[in-house]
Structures are given as structure tokens and as C-alpha cells.
Amino acid sequence: NVCRVGLTFLNFCLIVTGKRQCPPQGAWDMWRAYSDMREANYKDSDKYFHARGNYDAAQRGPGGAWAAKVISEARENSQRITDFFRHGDSGHGAEDSKADQAANEWGRSGQDPNHFRPVGLPDKY
């Protein structure tokens, strides 16, 4: 259920950092953006959801921005490992990872995530 998944996500944040500083609201904002991205399943929308999750979390203050950074970096690092095992040392996915990181930073810095919003994405998101 959604509550169990949310708690697992928060625990992941704590495990990755080894600290108990992961503000639940910021982590929840990141989870909500990820969940919306999966639900929307809309072409070229991933950068928007990266920026939106980071933006929403950062709006909660320094703790939210910290949680967004930790979660974003953990996600990108895990993606690099996965890409390495799938494609070897080919650099596959490096460009996309850099673009994701730029969208993450854009949102965390307080800039409008709609900059990355694809045309036609339903207003629900």
C-alpha cells in the first residue's frame, strides 16, 4: 500500500545518509513527484518531475533541500551502477544523468519547474 511504500522511501533516505536528518515532508515531496511521473508515463516529462520534486522539497526549507539533494544523488548513483552492469563502460546514460542532475539543481534552487514541462502534460501534474 501507499503508506508502506512511503515509509520504505523514507527509510531508504535514512539508510543512504546514515543520519536521522531526512525531513519527512521533503522526502514525501520527492516520492510524490516520482509517483506522478510513473503514473503520467508521459514522453519527455522526466526532467519536469525531477525539477518539481526538488522544487517542492526545497520549498520546505534547508532540511527539505537537503533531503532532495540526498535522494536525487542516491537515485543518480544507483542509475549509474545499473547502467554500468547493463551496458559496460560505454558511457550509456551519462548525458541523460547530467540532464537529470541539472533539472534537480534547477528545482532545488527555487527556479520554476514548469521550465521543463512538456507540452500536453495533463494539468493534473
User: What HEC string does 60-111 produce?
Assistant: CCHHHHHHHHHHHHHHHHHHHHHHHHHHCCCCCCHHHHHHHHHHHHHHHCCC
pLDDT mean across residues, the chain: 83
Q: Tell me, what's the pLDDT at 117?
A: 98
pLDDT at 90: 59
| Share of residues in the chain with pLDDT > 90 (%) | 55
**Residue 32 belongs to a domain:** yes
Tell me, rounded to whole angstroms, the distance of Cα 123 from its chain centroid: 20
* Number of domains the chain is built from: 1
Q: What's residue 6's pLDDT? A: 47
Residue 21, Cα to own-chain centre: how many angstroms?
Answer: 18
CATH number of residue 101's parent domain: 1.10.132.110
Q: Are 50 and 94 in contact (CB under 8 A)?
A: no
Question: Distance between CA 125 and CA 49 in Å, rounded?
Answer: 9
Q: Does residue 100 lie within any of the structural domains?
A: yes
For residues 2 and 96, the model is more confident at 96
Q: Is residue 17 part of a domain?
A: no
Q: What would the pLDDT profile of 22-74 be if each residue is shown by its tens digit? A: 578 899 999 999 999 999 999 999 999 999 999 999 999 988 999 999 999 98
pTM for this structure?
Answer: 0.78
In a domain, 99, yes or no: yes
pLDDT at position 2: 41
Is 4's pLDDT higher than 70?
Answer: no
pLDDT number for residue 11 = 58
Structural domain including 109 reads 23-116
